[in-house]
Amino acid sequence: MDATGCPGPAQAAPAGCAPSCAAATALLGIPGLVVTSVTVTEDGWTVADVVTDPAAEAARCCPKCGATATRVKERPRTAPRDVLIGDRQILLRWGKTRWYCSNPDCDQGTFTEALPAVPSRARLTARLRTRLGECIGDDLMSAVATARRYGVSDRTAARAFDAYASQQLAGLDDEQDLGEAAGSMSSAAAPPPTAPTRRPASPSRPAPNGSPTWSTSAPAAASAWPKDAPPPRRKTCWPATPGGCATWPWTCPRPTAPAPRPA
């Protein structure tokens, strides 16, 4: 019986590793991990027991000083979630190794194996986080629907989309910088744009039904305005209070009688 529980000859175990199945490892497709067994739980989860590939020497290097570890402290287990394989939700059960740093001058002490596909202390694989962002950003699925499909929380799906969007926008910024540089070079010899012309002042006109009569006029010279008074562009003249127009008579039309109301 092989590592997946199927009848057949067991495959030879790599040096320093538990017996593994090459077919299941290839089907999982996570670099640096080998599958030792696969089981299906009662709630429908497909649990893949994996260990670190002995060929992945980078997983045994200290993250601070880079020294290769040789002493084992303990072997903890983590259970990061992975993408769907077919219609099955995959849950990894990774038998990690906690190592002592072999560099006596390093203050790291101990560290746990980590891979680019499954970062340290990650509850989701890197490809699952990317897939969550693609579902929301590219497939236009809601965060709630994406979270239910992959068995994560709504907040986790939203954070995965934020990281995915930031990564995509970072690439667009580089392209935009190149486009702006090319546009500035092509427009260097172009004539400068002309200044916009001002619209002429509208003539005064009476408003119907006795409402205020107003006019818009061009501003007068700066010396013509009263001291400490802002130059108005529009002033409202009320027929009932003609004295109110004595402040700036050049901006106000003559008061007119109210228009007769229709019977």
Closest C-alpha to 47, from 85, 6, 8: 85
Identity of the amino acid at 190: A
Q: Tokens 């299906």 label which residue?
A: 40
Nearest CA to 248 out of 263, 234, 261 is that of 234
Segments of the chain scoring below 50 in pLDDT? 1-4, 6-11, 14-16, 178, 181-182, 184-192, 195-198, 200-201, 203-204, 207-208, 210-220, 222, 234-241, 244-252
Is the distance from CB of 75 to CB of 50 less than 8 angstroms?
A: no
CA dist., res. 260 & res. 263, Å (int): 9
pLDDT at position 259: 64
Contact assessment for residue 10 and residue 1, using Cβ atoms and an 8 Å cutoff: yes
Whole-angstrom Cα distance, residue 98 to residue 148? 33
pLDDT digit string, tens, across residues 145-179: 999 999 899 999 999 999 999 988 887 655 555 45
d(C-alpha 131, C-alpha 262), whole Å: 70
What pTM does this model have?
0.57
Q: Judge whether 72 and 99 are in contact, CB under 8 Å.
A: yes
